[in-house]
Amino acid sequence: MLGLLWLIPAFPLAGFVLLALAGSRLSRRGVALVGVGSVGLSALAASLVGGSFLLSPPAGQAATQTLWSWIDVAGFHPEIAFRLDALSLIMILVVTFVGFLIHLYSAEFMMDEEGYSRFFAYMNLFVGAMLILLLADNLPLLYLGWEGVGLCSYLLIGFWYREPENGRAARKAFIVTRVGDAAMAVGLFLLFTQLGTLQIQELMQRASAQWQGGSGLAVAAAALLLGGAVGKSAQLPLQTWLPDAMAGPSPVSALIHAATMVTAGVYLIARMNVLFGLAPSVMLAVAIIGALTLLLAGFSALVQRDIKRVLAYSTISQIGYMFLALGVGAWSAAIFHFMTHAFFKALLFLGAGAIIIRLHHEHDMFKMGGLRREMPTTFWTFLIGSASLAAIPLVTAGFYSKDQILWSAWASETGSPWLWAAGLIGALLTSLYTFRMVFLTFYCERHALVRELSPLPALGIRIRLPLVVLAVLSVVGGLVDLPHTLGNLPFLSDFLHQILPAANMASEGLGTELLFQVIAGVVSVGGVYFAYLLILRRRQVVERWARSSLGSFLRRLWFGGWGFDRLYDTLVVRAYAWCAQANRHDIIDSFYETVVVRPYRWLARINRGDAIDLLFTGLARLATALHALLSRTQTGRVRWYAAGITLGAAIAIALVVLL
């Protein structure tokens, strides 16, 4: 079965090619069959390969499949080769299965939209590029998938391109992530020039053998790769593109946030764990970036009105938790949270999409209210996803993965009370903004828009089924890795430790770990209670605070994402425009105009009538004259043509006889 590995990315890529070439000639049912079916076949192939990997583990706990040589120039010979190990297996299973559910949902959600086949072509390419990224055995192939998901995010965020703001959001995502991609590209050049290879496993071995811990080259290479991860995963300071990416359709948001794109940075750092382990200062930077990002994004989510922007800031915050885990060496905890986050965040975005489409594309939570009776399936599944995001203790998958991160931030040898405190405050913020969203959308008094549209039409099975399946996974998904205090069944961690090192934990007793779990659980539940008080019982307190000078200032600051967009507009966009304007008539331009451009033009004017030009002009005039002479023979008189033929024949015979 491991020989089928290449089929996992091949199926969605084949779907993309078919839809790109023939999608306009297919019916909508045919388009959905190709678009959804190709990802479904990829998920099936991933399941078969994964089952074979688990039942009959290959030698070295990894399998490599080489298809062909890609480039072979002067010792640089990357191959189109895929590698399957514990890390890539978990990632591809999540991506293909969650991606299939999102595609199934999209078949109904996008049914009435123009560009139906174009949408599924882009979505298939998105999944295919992500799978190439995850399975790549070398960094050039990984970078191909990396740029592929960047391209697809641009195409899908701007899918409704007739709206100018959608085009701006797509360009913003493309440009901001290119900043990180440029840093990553420089990092690849550095690694190749210093270590002589970009094959990932060989690269890690050479780095360990040739570089000491804290080496300047190791720090530089890890920092450059971190730049790429920060851009793709929307972490400080390149997080500004993700909230605006909500301009795309809701299934696109679910795919970007849950299964592709933003998790690529987490995967890159985990895959290159040996290199990052050689750069402790960069590891610390990863943890600090994650801690700051999860806090800043959490505060911003508290004041948003658009339901999708709340979820967007939530994604930035939850990826921050993954970076925090990576930074303290809790590699398996980061991947565990990636998995549970994929389940509940896909569920929440798809649930938000179901609400938006039933309310005629209304995004404002303050224009909703009372939807728990109007949309019961959406309500219950959305509530389960929200509980998992808020890490409600014991009954949600999000609790188990987030608890691992918080405990690692405290007990890891590279952790600290400050990092733990940041994670705990982030947990409180998460509960607050999540259940603020739930109460505004489903519990508050119905807005006039809801009353006007009531009763809302029922959702189709292709929308309801993914919601229910993801809701189940958002509950049971955490049971694959139970902590010491709650059963001690670390199945996922033990599996990932085949490829990822275990965290170096300081000696702490079970009682201490249990105490910290209780604290985390109380904080999460307390956040839900505070949201209940502030939204449903003491709403006037919030409104009074918002009208105060401090409250008004903080609301504007958080609503605008802490002013990063304005800062970049001032430091980059306007500064560049000013320099370009000032540079129009600078000294260098004037010098070249005087020394090069004007003399060249003068010589060109002199040279217009030189001898060589006269020769070619004469030939052209001779050809014109001969054409005029010969054209006079074309009179249209048959007897002259006959005479000419006779004369020509006589001359030809005479030449033969005489010569």
Give yes or no for a contact between 363 and 357, defined as CB atoms under 8 angstroms apart: no
Stretch 295-322: mean pLDDT:
94
Six-digit token pair at 387?
């509980």
- Distance of alpha carbon 577 from alpha carbon 566, whole angstroms: 15
Q: What angle do CA 57, 63, 64 make, to 5 degrees?
A: 170
Structure confidence at residue 421 (pLDDT): 95
Which tens digit of pLDDT belongs to each residue from 150-170?
A: 999 999 999 988 888 889 999
pLDDT at 631: 79
Q: Is the confidence at residue 376, as pLDDT, over 80?
A: yes
Question: Three-state SS across 151-218?
Answer: HHHHHHHCCCCCCHHHHHHHHHHHHHHHHHHHHHHHHHHHHHHHHCCCEHHHHHHHHHHHCCCCCHHH
Give the model's pLDDT for residue 611.
64
Which residue carries 């709206």 as its tokens? Answer: 163
**Token output for 190:** 């550095």
Question: According to the model, what pLDDT value does residue 261 have?
Answer: 84
Q: What is the pLDDT of residue 70?
A: 85
Residue 508, pLDDT score: 65
Q: Which amino acid is at 389?
A: L
pLDDT score of 513 more than 90: no
Q: Return the amino acid letter for 366.
A: F
659 confidence band (pLDDT: 50, 70, 90): low
Residue 247 is predicted with a pLDDT of 87
Dig out the tokens for 346 from the structure: 């896909």
CA-CA distance, 46 to 127, in Å (whole number)? 13
CA of residue 200 relative to chain centroid, distance: 22
Give bridge partners of residue 505 from the DSSP assignment. Answer: 412
- pLDDT tens-digit series, residues 255-267: 988 877 888 999 9
pLDDT of residue 50: 93
pLDDT computed for residue 583 by the predictor: 63
State the average pLDDT over residues 383-407.
Answer: 94
Residue 563 scores a pLDDT above 80: yes
- Secondary structure of residue 72 in the 3-state scheme: coil
- Tell me the average pLDDT across 410-437: 93
Q: Is the pLDDT higher at 433 or at 259? A: 433
Check residue 149 and give left, alpha or beta (phi > 0: left; psi -120 to 50: alpha). alpha
Mean pLDDT to the nearest integer, 196-203: 92
What integer is the mean pLDDT of 572-576? 75
Q: Residues 447-460: pLDDT tens digits?
A: 877 777 777 777 88
Record the tokens describing residue 248, joined without a space: 């795309």
Supply the mean pLDDT for the chain: 89
pLDDT at 59 exceeding the cut of 70:
yes
* Mean pLDDT of the 212-231 span: 93
Please tell me the chain's helix, strand, coil percentages from 3-state DSSP, rounded to the nearest 5: 80, 5, 20
Residue 507 reports pLDDT greater than 80: no
E strand or H helix that includes residue 618: helix 611-631
Model confidence at 584: pLDDT above 70: no
Q: Are 501 and 332 in contact (CB under 8 A)?
A: no
112 vs 221, residue with greater confidence: 221
Query: What mean pLDDT is predicted for residues 57-83?
Result: 87
Of the pLDDT bands very low, low, confident and very high (cuts 50, 70, 90), residue 582 is low
Region of poorest pLDDT, from 6-15, 80-89, 641-650:
641-650
Q: According to the model, what pLDDT value does residue 606 have?
A: 72
- Give the per-residue pLDDT at 348: 95
Residue 72 pLDDT more than 90?
no
Q: Which pLDDT band, with edges at 50, 70 and 90, does 531 fall under?
A: very high
Instruction: Return the pLDDT at 228.
Output: 94
> Which carries the bigger pLDDT value, residue 222 or residue 23?
222
* pLDDT of res. 31: 93
User: What is the DSSP annotation of 40-105?
Assistant: HHHHHHHHHHHHHHHHSPPGGG-EEEEEEE---BTTB--EEEEEE-HHHHHHHHHHHHHHHHHHHH
State the pLDDT at residue 580: 65
**Helix, strand, or coil (residue 136):** strand
Confidence of residue 586 (pLDDT cuts 50, 70, 90): low
Query: Would you place residue 23 in the very low, low, confident or very high pLDDT band (cuts 50, 70, 90)?
Result: confident
The encoded tokens of residue 428 equal 């409180």
